[in-house]
Amino acid sequence: MEIRTSAPGDLDAILEIYACAREYMRRTGNPNQWGSSNPPEWKIRKDIADGNSYLVLQRGEICGVFSFILGADPTYQVIEGRWLNDEPYGTLHRVAGNGRARGLMGTVLDFCGALAPNVRVDTHSDNKIMQHILEKSGFTRCGIIHLENGSPRIAYQKKYS
C-alpha cells in the first residue's frame, strides 16, 4: 500500500469511502459515531485544502482515507485522565476504508508515526474495532476528551521512538 496527499479531484472517491465506512459502522454496532452524515463535506474539503487529507492506495486504487494534523488539537487540551506526555504530536482523525484492503490501519499508523514522535487519536465508545486495533498497535488509553459538541471520546496516544 502507498499513501499520498488528497487532491480536490479525489473528493467523490473520498465521499464514497466515508459512505461505505458509515454503513460498516452501522452494521457492526457503531451507528452513532458518524451517524448518516459525518464527516461533513465542508470538513473533508478543508482537510484537503489544508494538506491534511491523505489517501491509501492499493495497486493504484483508492482504498482508504484519513486526516493527519501536526500540532495541538483544541479538543485535546482538556482530558479526563492524562496524556503520556506534553511533547509535540500529530492527531489522526477520520480514518475510513472501503473494506477491501487488509492492514489499512497498520499502514496508516506507521505513516503517522513516521511523521510525528507522538500520535494521538480518539474514538467513540461504541467503536470496539478501533479500540482493539489501537490497543493491539501499542496505543495507550489516556482518558476521555470531548468534541466541540460535547460528545465524549476515548483518547489514545502512542510515543514512537
Q: How confident is the model at residue 63 (pLDDT cuts 50, 70, 90)?
A: very high
Statement: residue 30 has pLDDT above 80: no
Secondary structure of residue 79 in the 3-state scheme:
coil
Helices (DSSP H) in 28-156: which residue ranges? 41-49, 104-115, 128-136
Q: How confident is the model at residue 146 (pLDDT cuts 50, 70, 90)?
A: very high
Pairing of strands 2-5, 53-58: antiparallel
Statement: residue 24 has pLDDT above 90: no
Q: How confident is the model at residue 149 (pLDDT cuts 50, 70, 90)?
A: confident
Bridge partners, 69 (sequence order): 91
User: Considering the chain, what percentage of its residues have pLDDT values greater than 90?
Assistant: 75
Residue 153 vs residues 8, 77, 120, 136, 147: alpha-carbon distances, Å? 29, 13, 12, 19, 7
Question: What cell was used for 53?
Answer: 487529507
Helices (DSSP H) in 50-157: which residue ranges? 104-115, 128-136
Average pLDDT estimate for 27-33: 76
pTM of the complete model beyond 0.75 = yes
Residue 28 vs residues 11, 25, 64, 101, 123: alpha-carbon distances, Å? 26, 5, 18, 18, 15
CA 56 vs. chain centroid, Å, equals 12
Residue 34 vs residues 21, 103, 113: alpha-carbon distances, Å? 9, 22, 25
Bridge partners, 65 (sequence order): 55, 96
Q: How confident is the model at residue 29 (pLDDT cuts 50, 70, 90)?
A: confident
Average pLDDT estimate for 41-66: 95
With contact defined as beta carbons under 8 Å apart, do 143 and 82 qualify?
yes
Average pLDDT estimate for 100-111: 91
Average pLDDT estimate for 61-82: 96
**Mean of per-residue pLDDT scores for the chain:** 92
- The full set of domains in the chain, from first to last, is 2-159 (3.40.630.30)
